[in-house]
Amino acid sequence: MPTDSPYPLLHLAAVAACPLALLMALLVPTHLANSMGRRFARLASWVSLGVFGLAVLVLIGRFLAGPLMVKVAGDEALRIDIYFDTLSAVMLLLVTFLGAVGVRYSGNYLAGDPQQGRFIRWLCVTIGSVLLLTISGNLLLFALAWVATSLSLHKLLTFYPDRPMAMLAARKKFLFSRLGDACLVGALVATWQCFGTWNFAEMFTAADTLRAHGSEHSACLGWTSMLLVGCALLKSAQFPFHSWLPDTMETPTPVSALMHAGIINAGGFLVVRLSPIIAGSPAALNALALVGAFTALFASMIMLTQTSVKRSLAYSTIAQMGFMMLQCGLGAFALAVLHIVAHSLYKAHAFLSSGSIVSMTRAAWVPSERPSAHPLILLGTLGSAVALTWGIGMLFGLSLTSSAGVLLLGAVFMMALAYLLWNLWASS
């Protein structure tokens, strides 16, 4: 990547602008956000939609300019690195799309609530923290974004302080998150001891070198991998750390959608991102496979016994995360990424539409007085939605694979899932 060309600098600025644009919500005082109310929600909706458009542009830049690995600032230990490869591009596009839908949905969901501005503010910060996580180029910046995501999510989980069950679930989630953070801090120390760096590219090269030296360094790699796996299992609500997720149903629906469709996938993203290190430890892979398989079976059976729609969806998420951990444990990291994308789109739609089931059931018993739309109008609307979602599906398919044979199949699959969320956006 030539240093005298302005294109890489523009690419870097566009990549960095995606999380920074949403993290700027931290600069807005809470009382100002609340006083603006619906106007602040509308502004946040347009910003999030603009960030999604920017993510599409940087995805195109990824294929034109190749991977982006840049040291932005700092010394050897404390520095900011940007690492933008195919995995980052997929996750950036996915999170910005879900974030744009979630922010738009929240504007109507909390319309009239005196604390709407505070909610939108922390929702934007949470999404921005996840975006920072996806483009982090070293483990230290990754850990800071990881903790920031957890703390900002806690603000959303405690949005209703007068609901005892919501506060209890938030405290339980907070404790499990701190345990996961402790594992990540331990992994930071172990990584520095093993590799002498936190930069991802340098870590992967050093891990290959250590593996080539044989068994004398296997203990160092093993401990590092196990700490990373422990952090991922805690984040993904795997057995026996799963109990907090079904209890978070007292939170606003957009929080549930964001948590189940985006944030909980951070555990899988961690494993896939650091797979060159974790794949060198058979014990870590076995732990992922065994815990994931048991959790998938365990949560699937419990899901069938639930009478609450949201709790059933929560156990469904736990089971799907179990399948994802199983895929990683078997070394199918590319399949795990496809699972992340498909599950995120499906689960976001499931949660954001769960509240409409009762309304739709009631409406079925009341005759509608609205005239039916003209068939040509319906066809035009459907054609526009299909064209847009086809484009989104092609982008996801191109990101996930470079094989022309499965590109079309991936695009069709993603189009069907994205179409559900587009309908939700249009009706919100």
pLDDT value, residue 412: 46
**H helical segments located in 213-329:** 218-235, 253-261, 266-273, 275-278, 282-303, 309-329
36-66 residue pLDDT tens: 878 888 998 899 999 999 988 888 877 777 6
Q: Higher-confidence residue: 290 or 216?
A: 290
For residue 185, the enclosing domain spans: 161-354
DSSP 375: H
Q: Is 69 helix (H, G, I), strand (E, B) or coil?
A: strand
pLDDT value, residue 408: 44
Cα distance between residue 175 and residue 167, in whole Å: 12
Q: Cβ distance 112 to 55 under 8 Å?
A: no
User: Do residues 166 and 124 share a domain?
Assistant: no
Checking if the pLDDT of 296 tops 80, the result is: yes
In this prediction, residues 116-127 reach a mean pLDDT of 90
Domain count, the chain: 2
In this prediction, residues 174-179 reach a mean pLDDT of 90
User: Do residues 101 and 193 share a domain?
Assistant: no
User: Do residues 165 and 126 share a domain?
Assistant: no
Q: Cβ distance 198 to 191 under 8 Å?
A: yes
230-273 residue pLDDT tens: 999 998 888 888 888 888 777 788 888 888 888 888 889 999 99
Q: Cβ distance 335 to 327 under 8 Å?
A: yes
- The single-letter code of the amino acid at 87 is L
- Domain assignment present for 148: no
Cα distance between residue 348 and residue 425, in whole Å: 11
- Domain assignment present for 131: yes
The pTM score is 0.81
138 beta partners: 199
Cα distance between residue 261 and residue 338, in whole Å: 13
- Domain assignment present for 418: no
User: Do residues 165 and 286 share a domain?
Assistant: yes
Q: Cβ distance 411 to 394 under 8 Å?
A: yes
pLDDT value, residue 57: 86
Q: Is 287 helix (H, G, I), strand (E, B) or coil?
A: helix
Identify the burial level of 373 via C-beta atoms within 10 angstroms of its C-beta, where 0-12 means exposed, 13-18 middle and 19 or more buried.
exposed
